[in-house]
Amino acid sequence: MVFSNIIGQPKAVKLLSRAMTTDRLAHAYLFSGPDGVGKTTTAMTLAAELFCEQTERSGPCGHCGGCVKFSSGNHPDFLTIRAQGAAIKIQQIRELKKKLSFSPFESGLRVVLMEDIQTMRREAGNSLLKILEEPPPDNLLLLIASDSEPVLPTIVSRCQVIPFLPLTIDQSSVVVGSLYPELSGEEARSLSVLSGGCPGQVQARNNEEVLRLRNECIQAVVEPGNDRAKAVELGLDLAGRMADLKEGLETLFDLLALFFKESMVVQLGGTENPETVSLAAPRERWNLQQLSDKILAVEAARRQLARNGNKGLVCEVLMLDLCK
């Protein structure tokens, strides 16, 4: 089935599947939505299906000449344009115009993937507009933007716009788990929450040492119970390791804050995250005020870090506050 790999975008899948089934693809599409929700994946899936030489539209076979060339990045009728530096330049659009003036080399259709078109300045945008106003035959333009607001309205009006939305946390967790099988279910879910349902953004936060420290910090806060001396000892040891992180300390703070926020939701009668149910009993000893204090402690540490505070001191104060 075409687009079976696309999760959480039913509207996009429905529109594109119908267009392919009826052989009524538009000459240009604008995929608009936040980074990391599947826009480029959907565009690549569509291109793969169009280049497949099998006649049945049931997904690319992966074995024909068209599939092999596309998957290896060598298909002559697939063009990609990305920002050079901070923006797509007018020279890139001019070069594209020249290429579009020729017929496709091998396939009946040329596919052009243009990413980050929200970076395109007016001069380049006007040049692209001329292509869209008089679309050359046998060419499909797939434009991708994380935000359609900066895109020239005249460009938007000449494309079929397909919105892409953030995934639900459950959907995102499935995608993250498949992309990073080494993650536990709880880790995949936590990273999905932090990425706002945009699994493609998880890579920037997926740090093995950060996740390990997150788990150890939670254990240090939860497990010692009333043994404050033990909790402080564990907390200070972890604070030193936190301060030694070369990158990812802000993500660690985010993960810790998320744990206490979810604990507060449970206290208020919300649904328990099945991945953290084993911690339900130990953390029941915290009341709402204590949980709020822990969240505020994490936020205070984040502010101090942003002000270039001493990392070691910031982490020590945080862990002492959390272990109260």
What would the pLDDT profile of 229-244 be if each residue is shown by its tens digit? 887 888 899 999 999 9
Any domain includes 214: yes
Nearest to 205, CA basis, from 185, 222, 183: 183
Instruction: Give φ, ψ of 162 to 5 degrees.
Output: -120, 115
Name the helix (H) or strand (E) containing 120.
none
Confidence of residue 225 (pLDDT cuts 50, 70, 90): low
Task: Tell me the three state secondary structure of residue 35.
Answer: coil
Domain hosting residue 114, numbered range: 10-163
Residue 130 contacts by C-beta under 8 Å, 6 or more apart in sequence? 97
User: Is residue 159 located within the same domain as residue 223?
Assistant: no
Share of the chain above pLDDT 70, in %: 94
Average pLDDT, the chain: 90
Identify residue 187 by its one-letter amino acid code.
E
- Residue pLDDT, tens place only, 118-150: 999 999 999 999 999 999 999 999 999 999 999
What confidence score (pLDDT) does residue 262 get? 84
Is the pLDDT score of 300 beyond 90? yes
**The length of the chain, given as a count of residues:** 324
Query: In the predicted model, what is the mean pLDDT of residues 109-121?
Result: 95
User: Is residue 145 located within the same domain as residue 27?
Assistant: yes
User: Is residue 144 located within the same domain as residue 284?
Assistant: no
**Domain with 302 in it: what CATH number?**
1.20.272
In angstroms, rounded to a whole number, what is the distance separating the alpha carbons of residues 96 and 321?
58
Tokens 């008089």: give the residue.
134
User: Is residue 156 located within the same domain as residue 27?
Assistant: yes
What confidence score (pLDDT) does residue 232 get? 83
Secondary-structure percent of the chain, ordered helix, strand, coil, rounded to 5: 55, 10, 35
**Domain with 86 in it: what CATH number?**
3.40.50.300
What Å distances lie between residue 185 and 175, 210, 256, CA to CA?
Answer: 11, 16, 16
Single residue among 163, 184, 215 that ends a domain in this structure: 163
Q: Whole-model pTM? A: 0.81
What confidence score (pLDDT) does residue 277 get? 46
Is the pLDDT score of 280 beyond 80? no
Q: Is 119 in contact with 92 (CB distance < 8 Å)? A: no
User: Is residue 225 located within the same domain as residue 123?
Assistant: no
Is the pLDDT score of 26 beyond 70? yes
- Count structural domains, the chain: 2
Residue 206 contacts by C-beta under 8 Å, 6 or more apart in sequence? 180, 183, 191
